[in-house]
Amino acid sequence: MPLLPRRFERLKAVLDRRMGDLTVLLEHVEKPHNLSAILRSCDAVGVIEAHAVSLAERLPTFNTTAQGSQKWVALQRHADSTAMIRQLQQRGFRVYGTHLAVEAVDYRRCDYTGPTAFLLGAEKWGLSEAASAAVDQAIFIPMRGMVQSLNVSVAAATLLFEALRQRQTAGLVPERGEGLAPEQYQRLLFEWAYPQVADWCRREGRPYPALGEEGEILEELPRTVKLRC
């Protein structure tokens, strides 16, 4: 089915509000319903990519809780937690580790208007010692009940929406694509609009074709590829 102009406008409207400087790092969060719920919250807030360290032999899997959000929020996989944290720090992110350390502060006391990554831990064990030691700041969400911790996806949503709230208050939420580098925006727009053609281009080592005003591909493609549009 051809890409409808209305669908193209919707894709652009969502990309216009995506934030490249807000993300989550997941350390051994393995349950499909948790991963799915976290990616769904990422999509809702405007996160463009999330990061995960998972057991070597296990591919992250999602269930219906995701509602397809794994298509709109890329999950980058890493082999090692400390390397993942360092990589984000080198890119200018401040990494907030979620655990109840003595030095942890109430999450509402931190400023998330700059590049921010929330590190969340495994369902059963929480964060590893190595990961906790590598973060810039430990934070916690105060609890008032009998149970000591929140479900990890609830913690992720609470933190992400606090970051969004702070950015909205500061007038720092992108509305016209300024949250992404222009080349990243164009690449994602093509991949979202034409995922199968994008796959083909990557396999062939070709750049993505340019798109017209209404999302039409401005290049003659082989017939078999055209059928996938």
User: Footprint of ligand SAM on this chain (CB under 6 A)?
Assistant: 98-99, 120-121, 123, 125-127, 140-141, 143, 149-150, 152, 155
> DSSP label at 64?
G
Q: Which is nearer to ligand SAM, 121 or 215 (CB)?
A: 121
What's the min distance (Å) between Cβ of 136 and ligand SAM? Answer: 15
Q: Which is nearer to ligand SAM, 67 or 158 (CB)?
A: 158
The residues that bridge with 74 in the sheet, in sequence order, are 49
Q: In the complex, which residue's CB is closest to ligand SAM?
A: 126
Burial class of residue 154 (count of CB atoms within 10 Å of its CB; 0-12, 13-18, 19+): middle
Q: Which is nearer to ligand SAM, 56 or 147 (CB)?
A: 147
Burial class of residue 147 (count of CB atoms within 10 Å of its CB; 0-12, 13-18, 19+): exposed
What's the min distance (Å) between Cβ of 112 and ligand SAM? Answer: 14
| Straight-line distance from the first to the last Cα atom of the chain, in angstroms, rounded to the nearest whole number | 7
Q: Which is nearer to ligand SAM, 39 or 120 (CB)?
A: 120
Q: Please identify which residue in the block is written with the tokens 């702070």.
A: 166
What's the min distance (Å) between Cβ of 118 and ligand SAM? Answer: 8
Q: Which is nearer to ligand SAM, 39 or 211 (CB)?
A: 39
What's the min distance (Å) between Cβ of 160 and ligand SAM? Answer: 12
What's the min distance (Å) between Cβ of 106 and ligand SAM? Answer: 9
Q: Please identify which residue in the block is written with the tokens 């937690």.
A: 81
How far is residue 202's CA from residue 217's CA, in Å, rounded to a whole number? 16
Q: How far is CA 177 from the centre of its chain?
A: 16
Instruction: Give CA angle at 21 (20, 26), nearest 5°.
Output: 95
